[in-house]
Structure 1
Amino acid sequence: MAEHRPLRYVALGDSQTEGVGDGHESTGWRGFADRFAVLLARHHPSLSYANLAVRGRRAHQVHHEQLAPALGLEPDVATVVAGVNDVLRPRFEAAQVAGHVESVWAALRGQGAQVLSMTFPDPAPLVPAARPVSGRVRELNALLRRAARRQGVLLAEMEGHAVVGDARLWSQDRLHAGPEGHARMAAALAQVWGLPGSDDSWTRPLPGPAPVGRAGWQALAGEVGWAARFVGPWVLRRVRGRSSGDGRSAKRPLLMPVR
């Protein structure tokens, strides 16, 4: 792509795009979007980058809260990843969620941006209790694939790769990718974009054996501890009608150079 002006990249989405799991609250989150910006900047040194994502946002919120600011930044490249927070809610309409995502894609494409996104992995290998939502994930992914073909969106496939179920790619809460997971998501975007030097190595297993889970009472105790630490606060927020993103704003609302 010729650079008649500095290439502009804008990221929209929820906590994964914000970078939760890759860094620390006290020092700042990095995440796949920041990492993808760095990969882009290697080939477009004057790249400017904004990240409008806010944790906890559902697809309709990304549509109604982030699209207008994104269009105002006139991006050449945009990533839009949303829908996981909808999948986890008691009431879920896959077509409605996919519709909001496609509307965002269409508006950005209509303004001339190249849009990239990704499907979602099955959470069951990491969180056995999440098996009931596996069907929701597959249904949403199928709709996103069809929408991506309609809109000319580059879609990275997170579903179907065994390595995505390796716990070493995820943070302790098992809901957000860890540094290795975010790095691989950025590499997947680089591959579908066709950045020089990118390939499918992000799909390959990590070296060494995957961690072996505990058995019996130890496994049960571990699951109870995990649920108390991470699931309990999430459920409490739902009961109170709150979100982890309440009172938060985008970490990088303006286009800035990538260092």
Structure 2
Amino acid sequence: MRPARFVALGDSLTEGVGDPTGNGWRGWAALLAGGLADHRGDFTNLAFSGAQTRDVLERQLPAALDLRPDVASVVVGVNDTLRATFDIHAVAARLDRVYSAFAEQGTLLLTVCLPDPGTMLGLPAALANPLARRQRAVNTVVHALSERYGAVHLHACDGAWTMDRAMWSADRLHPSERGHRQLALRSHALLTKVGVRMGHAPSAEPEFAVPTRRASVWWLATAGTAWVVRRCGDLLPQLLRLATDELRHRARGTSKRLDLSASQACAAALASLPPLSAMPGAPAEAEAA
């Protein structure tokens, strides 16, 4: 039997931002791969910073399918929420095509839902709430599609770990090395539970010293700030309009209408997906963060 082959798709989180090693990034997927089949498995990381669901579908998926992986992780969607073009219908349709392609190939899917960027950045409620609705919609889609295609799903969008500063890097959007290790550990446990041949679990303790406060502030003031601007620069005018709408509804006591509208859009997006054909897949697994 050949070693398990693992391919990771997604954005900067899976690329490893927040977990530096040498001149690059490592990240949770690489840490997980190190414990796959006692280090004998093949691992390819196709994720790149800034990727949206369109990038995963059009650029990463074809390369991943060519590798015919046994396990594929798909963690994406946060960058979609940070764009003025955000459309939950498009997000759902793209992810459905990605998940379906892996399911048809017999690949076991690993998915993760994540906390919303507004909360992680500590933005005022008027700015954070619109972003939170978008991320909740993405997470709802990921939950539904994970069940639809029998994916192994890690629920990491809430819980104590999201508020533990030791788990997050200076930018508050990417996990620190400790946070990446937690994602790898929890994923390792879930894959083991469904019978994937796993080697030793990665250590929970960081290998490298925690960056000093000075180093963290310097990174945030240079590379980190530039990262945020690149990801959400086009969103700012729209976000200000959304914040104004948020404040208006709050003053009228009608904020629940915004939540209801977002929920209805998400439900409509899922309802519009094509019927599911019979294909192999086990019931989804879930873990609370």
Asked if these proteins are the same fold (TM beyond 0.5), I'd say yes
Alignment counterpart, residue 21 of structure 1, candidates 18, 23, 46: 18
Q: Hey, what does 2:59 align to over in structure 1?
A: 65
Structure 1 residues without counterparts, runs of 5 or longer: 203-222, 241-259
Note closer, same or farther for the CA distance 1:101–1:27 as it changes in structure 2 (3 Å cut): same
Note closer, same or farther for the CA distance 1:81–1:228 as it changes in structure 2 (3 Å cut): same
CA distance in 2, matches of 1:176, 1:115: 22
Amino acid at match of 2:62: A
CA distance in 2, matches of 1:55, 1:32: 15
Amino acid at match of 2:34: V
Q: Hey, what does 1:79 align to over in structure 2?
A: 73
- Determine which structure has the larger helix proportion and give its number: 2
State percent identity of aligned pairs.
36
Note closer, same or farther for the CA distance 1:198–1:144 as it changes in structure 2 (3 Å cut): farther
SS at match of 1:159: coil
Q: Could you tell me whether the CA contact under 8 Å between 1:170 and 1:176 is conserved in 2?
A: yes
Q: TM-score, normalised by structure 2?
A: 0.66
Q: Could you tell me whether the CA contact under 8 Å between 2:82 and 2:232 is conserved in 1?
A: no
* 1:83-137 alpha-carbon deviations (Å, 9 max, x no partner): 1100111231123213212211110111111010100113344312161311111
Q: Hey, what does 1:171 align to over in structure 2?
A: 169
Alignment counterpart, residue 97 of structure 1, candidates 77, 91, 98: 91
Q: Hey, what does 1:37 align to over in structure 2?
A: 33
CA distance in 1, matches of 2:54, 2:183: 23
Q: Could you tell me whether the CA contact under 8 Å between 2:12 and 2:48 is conserved in 1?
A: yes
SS at match of 1:72: helix
CA distance in 2, matches of 1:233, 1:55: 9
Note closer, same or farther for the CA distance 1:227–1:107 as it changes in structure 2 (3 Å cut): same
Q: Hey, what does 2:152 align to over in structure 1?
A: 154
Q: Hey, what does 1:50 align to over in structure 2?
A: 44
CA distance in 1, matches of 2:222, 2:26: 26
SS at match of 2:174: coil
Task: Report the Cα offset of residue 82 of structure 1.
Answer: 0.7
CA distance in 2, matches of 1:31, 1:229: 18
Q: TM-score, normalised by structure 1?
A: 0.73
Amino acid at match of 2:16: G
CA distance in 1, matches of 2:232, 2:168: 23
The structure with the larger Rg is 2
RMSD after superposition:
2.9
CA distance in 2, matches of 1:89, 1:238: 6
Q: Could you tell me whether the CA contact under 8 Å between 1:35 and 1:186 is conserved in 2?
A: yes
Counterparts in 2 of 1:103-182, with a 5 A limit?
103-129=97-123, 131-132=128-129, 133-182=131-180
Q: Hey, what does 2:260 align to over in structure 1?
A: none
* 1:56-97 alpha-carbon deviations (Å, 9 max, x no partner): 111111110011110101101111111110011123112321
Amino acid at match of 2:138: L
SS at match of 2:51: coil
CA distance in 1, matches of 2:162, 2:200: 18
Q: How many residues align?
A: 213
SS at match of 2:35: helix
Note closer, same or farther for the CA distance 1:15–1:185 as it changes in structure 2 (3 Å cut): same
CA distance in 1, matches of 2:188, 2:7: 15
Moved more, 96-105 or 107-116: 96-105
Structure 2 residues without counterparts, runs of 5 or longer: 205-216, 235-289
